[in-house]
Amino acid sequence: MKRKSSFHYRWVIVGFSFITLALAYGVWYSFSVFFVALLKEYDWSRSVLAGAFSLCIMIHSLVGPFVGGMVDRLGPRRVILLGSLFLGIGLALCSFTQTWWQFYIFFGVITAVGIGVVGWVPNVTLIQHWFKANRGLAIGIISSGIGVGILVCTPTIQYLIIQLGWRMTYRMMAIFIPLFVISMAIAFLRKPPQVTPTHPVEMEISHAIIKDPCVVNEKWVSRSWSIRQAITTKQFWFLSISYLLSNLIVQAIFTHQVAFFVDHGLEALFASFIFGMVGIVSIVSKILWGVISDRIGREISHTTGMMVS
């Protein structure tokens, strides 16, 4: 009965991570609508303001290894609670921006740290703790939350900016987003079921995974990797470079997308809806590739996805 309860409860965890990523990366992608509002109010060049988003991406990336270490020591729940506080502080400070360098600190550093600590790393780790089978589907579902953040949060935030102004919008985000994530974390996050490696059933499952025909290299799957060993492999660096190059293209376009539409005569709200349409494709594709990865393996799925993009 306990194992059956844990089996069903893990989908509650998926729901938590789905909503958390939607909110956290809703903040990330809402930069495109704040970009237009800030340019309208201040006499800053586009390159200077876009630099804040570039800094945000860099800081978000750099904190990743430290967040992973914190998750190992403290657990995903405590890390997500801490990240929510950072996110709230960063968003609140953004509402007091008067100069470009203040926005660099408030959004590019503090808010970026908050997104990094509450976002991808602890939530993926959380899913990996709860899921052995159907892990690709589970990660696909939670990552589709980012698409929901683009689809729902961006137009909603643009509407709030029109009605209340960008400063008040930042203040509302600073209150409601962290409060919602913290409340969910306290209510729903609990320790994952204990896995005993020596249990015959688990050994049988582990053996089945190693013999899975979807696994490209059984030798790699069967061994235990340290960080130092992993970073000496060409596969690690090829994977890292593929993420780097794909994000350089995608994020550069997203930063200026709403401003581009506004420049061509569209209303800011309508432009944000067009931008949000990207989220629909993102939702479907993330879940689809998650299911495909469970069927044909992670390596083949990732390689195919990169070739398509």
The candidate with the shortest Cα–Cα distance to 112, out of 30, 56, 51, is: 56
Question: Which run of H or E residues covers position 281?
Answer: helix 268-296
Between 90 and 274, residue with greater pLDDT: 90
Boundaries of every domain in the chain = 2-191+211-308
**Burial letters for 49-84: b for 16+ Cβ neighbours within 10 Å, e otherwise?**
bbbbbebbbebbeebeeebbebbeeebbbebbbbbb
Q: What is the structure's pLDDT at 109?
A: 95
Q: What is the pLDDT of residue 218?
A: 66
214 dihedral zone (left: phi>0; alpha: psi -120 to 50; beta): alpha
Per-residue model confidence as pLDDT tens digits over 96-136:
999 999 999 999 999 999 999 998 899 988 888 888 777 88
- pLDDT reading at 201 higher than 50: no
The predicted-structure confidence for 215-256, as pLDDT tens digits, reads as follows 666 666 666 777 787 788 877 888 778 777 777 766 666 667
What pLDDT does 209 receive? Answer: 46
The pLDDT score that the predictor gives to residue 280 is: 75
Average pLDDT over residues 53-64: 89
The proportion of the chain whose per-residue pLDDT surpasses 70, expressed as a percent, equals 83
pTM for the whole structure = 0.79
The confidence score (pLDDT) of residue 133 equals 74
Say what the pLDDT of residue 177 is. Answer: 94
Reported as a single tens digit per residue, the pLDDT across 64-81 is 889 988 998 888 899 999
**Angle of CA points 248, 236, 73, to nearest 5°:** 95
**Can you read off the two tokens belonging to residue 205?**
């499952």
- According to CATH, what is the number of the domain 2-191+211-308? 1.20.1250.20
- Decide if 268 contacts 258 (C-beta within 8 A): yes
What pLDDT sits at residue 104?
Answer: 96
Q: How far apart are CA 216 and CA 120, in angstroms?
A: 26
147-174, pLDDT tens digit by residue?
888 888 888 999 999 999 999 999 999 9
Three-class secondary structure of residue 199 per DSSP: coil
